Amino acid sequence: MKWKDVNKIINKIPLHLITILLLLVWIVPTLGVFITSFRPVELINTSGWWTFLSPQHSETERFTIDNYVDAIVGYRGGDSYLEACNSGEPPANFDCSISDLLNPRGMGSAFFNSLMITIPATILPILFAAFAGYAFAWLEFKGRYLLFAILVGLQVVPLQMTFVPILQIYANVGANGTFWGVWLFHTGFGMPYAIYLMRNFLSTLPKDLFESAYLDGASHWSAFWRLAIPLAMPAIASLVIFQFLWVWNDLLVALVFLGGTKPVLTYQIANMVSSLGAGWHLLTAAAFISMLLPMILFFALQRYFVRGMLAGAVKG
Amino acid sequence: MSRPASTQVMKQGKLAPWLYLLPALLVMTFFIVYPMFNTIYLSFRNQDNTASAATSCNEGEPCWGVFENYRYALTGEIDTSTISNFWQTFWSSSYGNTLKWIIIMVSGTVVLGLLIAVLVDRVPYEPLAKSLIFMPMAISFVGAGVIWKFMYNYNAGRNQIGLLNAVITGLGGDPVAFLSNTSMNNIMLIIVGVWMWTGFSMTILSSALKSVPGELLEASRIDGANEFQVFFRIMLPIIMPTVVVVVTTMVINVLKLFDIVYVMTGGNFETEVIATRMYTEMYANFRTGRGTAIAVILIIAIFPFIILNVKRFMAQEASR
């Protein structure tokens, strides 16, 4: 190797150092929670998680899945759920059978509730937005521009502006504490951004494609389902991941409209933070249960998430 | 044969577009437009919406008539007796805190985002690095709250399980109760926000940086410019429009921010921000008049950004 090459490498060392330092700073907090969630509670409260590999304790004492089990079934006793069941007497409110996985106080049930909320609240807005986006992109009607401009403005309205009136209406029709109430609310709020994205993407599709379809006698309806939707898959994928993450991670809407009747993951965790204090073994496990799905989705579909974010943000 | 300029070759009924728009329009009108106006209306009423706000005035205290809820929202946390009292109480009020959030979080995410974008552009493991920085955006604010509460954990003793305090005591200092110490707890919360959102600004700014023409940079380097000059004199001015977009988006997000504060401190220890205060008034105190007044103040603060967004949209359309 020439000296020139060695020089180049040496010059890059500060760059790599700073970059890796930044990366470490970014990962360490999450890593701490991840490692802690596998440690037994006695160790958590007496030693820092960074000592998790220390030879002070034997292999079997260092790690455990008890925290996850306790979090999923919602067990908050002093020992662990598995120990309590093995001792013969099932603890209060538990059966020590497989049905405990869906105990309403546990994260298992909350995971299910989160799914129940998120999936429809993702499909509905995208469906509506696809229709509206197509109309804005390819149909002529009076007020098209003005309406779309209003839509752009609506993207920014904060949730807080709308709680009180909607709560009152929901209370009158008995929709409080129901899944439908939350689905519709998320649909309404997801609309402006979703329509914006769909319309922008659909209008970049080549004109000739649609024109030749119309010439061949296609109606708007079939052009929509046979042409626009399949071609708009990248935009739809972006929207799916965006909306899914948004609803899954939401706390405020679930807090206000659903509350404790059908607690979702975020709600349960928020509760545990305020009421448990020193229960880090449960908190860390619960936090990771709620983070697992979004992280998997995120890493798998990162490309689409980024694309959705960049739409309309970067000039040129 | 020349084609007409319009995209419409096919006959369509006057009704067709509206049918496509109907579900979206219905849902948006019901869930965004109508509640917005109703909220504004409620802010001028008393706490159970049985009479005008003017009736909730107290004897012997200043009263703003129908704006009584606004008087409470704007001055309830602030002591206007002397200038120094005003200054102090302003900065520990929800308005002062929100301002701190805006200034620190927006500049933090943008500066860090830019820095990281520039750095990772020059390393071979760029995609991995960007994924890692971006990852916190996938988790909920609640999850982030747990992660950082754990980092900030405080034990009044020798045994520290929170990483930050362990480092401090390891270096010989006394542990710090980060979240209840009013002189620094806001900053500690804002750090969580920056941790989460830097990935957002990094992604957008990185994309903008990559679109700066390579020849321009090469030419300036050949002319003898060092890296700092290249960045500040060439790259930054070119991506300035994108920086503005990131800044406005971040300001809007910060103004609406609720979860981090709610989960980590509940708004206690002088960490209240506008969104948490609204929540407290509404759901802890059940005072709809006051809660909605705070919400209206929030929308007034956001309003300039609505205008900016719409203007930007119109400019983009014009150049299509």
Q: What is the ipTM of this complex?
A: 0.82
**Can you tell me the mean pLDDT for A14-21?**
89
Question: pLDDT-derived band of residue A312, with 50, 70 and 90 as boundaries?
Answer: low
Mean per-residue pLDDT for A239-252?
88
Kindly report the average pLDDT of chain B as a whole number: 83
Residue of B nearest to A292 (CA): B139
Task: Give this prediction's pTM.
Answer: 0.83
Mutation pick from B130, B131, B161 vs chain A, by most beta carbons of A within 10 Å, is: B161
Helix A302-310 to helix A233-248 angle (10° resolution) is: 100
Residue of A nearest to B293 (CA): A161
Query: A99 touching B, CB under 8 A?
Result: no
Top-confidence residue, B97 or B309:
B97
pLDDT for the residue B104? 93
Contact assessment for residue B198 and residue B108, using Cβ atoms and an 8 Å cutoff: yes
Mean pLDDT of chain A: 82
User: Cα–Cα distance between B281 and B287 in angstroms, integer?
Assistant: 6
Tell whether the model's pLDDT for residue A123 goes beyond 90: yes
Looking at chain B, the whole-number percentage of residues with pLDDT higher than 70 is: 95
CB A257 within 8 A of CB A180: no
End-to-end CA distance of chain B: 25
- The nearest CA of chain A is from the CA of B250 a distance in Å of 11
pLDDT score at A1: 61
Cα pseudo-dihedral B175, B179, B185, B190, rounded to 10: 110
pLDDT confidence tier of residue A84, bands split at 50, 70 and 90: confident
Least trusted range by pLDDT, from A39-48, A222-231, A257-266: A39-48
Least confidently predicted of A8-12, A217-221, B6-10: B6-10
Residues of chain B above pLDDT 90, percent:
8
Q: What is the pLDDT of residue B112?
A: 92
Under the phi-then-psi rule, with left for phi > 0, alpha for psi from -120 to 50, and beta for the rest, what region is B270?
left
**pLDDT of A299 strictly over 80:** yes
- pLDDT(A80) > 70: yes
Whether residue B105 is predicted with pLDDT greater than 90 in this model: the reply is yes
pLDDT of B5 over the 50 cut = no
**Cβ pair B31:A33 closer than 8 A:** no
DSSP classification of residue A52: T
Interchain CB distance below 8 Å, B138 and A245: yes
Among A72-86, A110-124, A129-143, A188-202, which range has the highest average pLDDT? A110-124
Q: What is the mean pLDDT of residues A284-292?
A: 89
* Cβ B214 vs Cβ B176: under 8 Å: no
Chain B residues touching A160 at Cβ < 8 A: 256, 258, 275, 278-279, 294-295, 298
> B59-68, B94-103, B152-161: which has the highest mean pLDDT?
B94-103
Q: SS3 string of B145-164?
A: HHHHHHHCCCCCCCCCCCHH
pLDDT confidence band for A52 (50 / 70 / 90): confident
pLDDT bracket for residue A59 (50, 70, 90): low
Size of interface A-B (CB pairs under 8 A): 298
**Cross-chain Cβ contact A314/B136 below 8 Å:** no
The pLDDT of residue A58: 64
The pLDDT score that the predictor gives to residue B207 is: 86
C-alpha distances in Å from residue A153, one per residue of A128, A130, A193, A297: 19, 19, 10, 30
Tell me how close the Cα of B162 comes to any Cα of chain A, in angstroms: 7
Alpha carbon of residue A127 to chain centroid: 19
pLDDT at A216: 84
Q: How far is B78 from chain A (nearest CA, A)?
A: 23
Q: Which of B23, B246, B249 is the closest to A128 by Cβ?
A: B23
pLDDT at A235 over 70: yes
CB contact under 8 A, A135 and B291: no
pLDDT band at A138 (very low <50, low <70, confident <90, very high): confident
Q: How far is A91 from chain B (nearest CA, A)?
A: 28
Q: How far is B38 from chain A (nearest CA, A)?
A: 6
Which of A160, A165, A192 is nearest residue B298 as measured by Cβ atoms?
Answer: A160
Residue B45 phi/psi, 5-degree rounding, is: -115, 170
Contact B34 A187 (CB under 8 A): no
Q: What is the mean pLDDT of residues B293-320?
A: 81
Residue A95 C-beta-side C-alpha neighbours within 13 Å? 7
What is the pLDDT at residue B320? 63
Q: Do B142 and A266 meet the contact criterion of CB atoms below 8 Å apart?
A: yes
Q: State the pLDDT at residue A315.
A: 40
Predicted pLDDT of residue A276? 57
> A23 with B133: CB under 8 angstroms?
yes
CB contact under 8 A, A309 and B288: no
The average pLDDT across A28-42 equals 86
Q: Is the pLDDT of residue A253 over 80?
A: yes
- Confidence bin at A277 (pLDDT 50/70/90): low
| Residue A183, pLDDT score | 92
Which residue of B31, B39, B147 is in closest CB contact with A188?
A: B31
Give the closest of B146, B255, B291 to A273, CB-based. B146
Residue B4 has pLDDT above 50, yes or no: no
**DSSP structural state of residue B93:** S
Task: Give pLDDT, residue B47.
Answer: 78
The mean pLDDT value for A8-33 works out to 87
pLDDT in tens, B164-223: 888 888 888 888 888 888 888 888 889 999 999 998 899 888 888 888 888 888 888 888
**Chain A residues close to B258, C-beta within 8 Å:** 160, 251-252
Within 10 angstroms of residue A225's Cβ, the number of other Cβ atoms is 12
